[in-house]
Amino acid sequence: ALEKTPLLWAAAHGRPALAQGLLGGDVVRRLGGAALRRVLLQRDKSEREKNRTALMLAVRLRSYDGAEVVRAMLSQHSLRALGLQDAARVFAAQDAGGRTALMHAVDARSTHLVQLL
């Protein structure tokens, strides 16, 4: 069994090209809002990652590649496909410590990531 989904792996390892491929316009259109929400809310269940979503993993990289993965996840076509309610769920998701991706970005003192989110 896979330890991480492809998107979780791309986020954890800062692979923007993979994230962009996984979340390209055609893929997002085929998935639709509910399936895309499930993909973006999947959790890394490992002890080390503490139930974090791909968005949280990418933010925690504190790197250019991590920011590009975040940008791929929050592209206009992804947000449109999600809709307002599901996008809010993705942003409000918390890890095991009750922290959101935005909280991780603030902790990293990354104004660029905070602006992306």
User: Does the pLDDT value for residue 1 go beyond 70?
Assistant: no
48-83 confidence digits (pLDDT tens): 888 999 999 999 888 889 999 999 999 999 999 999
Looking at the domain assignment, is residue 63 inside a domain?
A: yes
Q: Per the domain annotation, does 74 fall within a domain?
A: yes
Number of structural domains in the chain: 1
Domain-located, residue 101: yes
- Tokens, residue 70: 């975040």
The verdict on residue 1 lying in a domain is: no
Question: Nearest to residue 101, comparing CAs of 68, 65, 70?
Answer: 70
Residue 64 forms part of a structural domain: yes
Which of 68, 54, 80 has its CA nearest to residue 113? 68
Phi, psi of 53 (to 5 degrees): -85, 170
Residue-wise pLDDT for 3-53, tens only, equals 788 999 999 999 999 999 999 888 888 888 889 999 999 999 888 888 999
Tens digits of residue pLDDT in 87-115: 999 999 999 999 999 999 999 888 888 88
Q: What is the CATH number of the domain that holds 49?
A: 1.25.40
Taking the C-alpha atoms of residue 113 and residue 116, their distance in angstroms, rounded to an integer, is: 5
For residues 56 and 97, what is the distance between their CA atoms, to the nearest angstrom? Answer: 12
The domain of 23 spans: 6-116
Q: What's the pLDDT at 2?
A: 61
**Full-model pTM:** 0.86
Distance, CA of 49 to CA of 64 (rounded, Å):
20
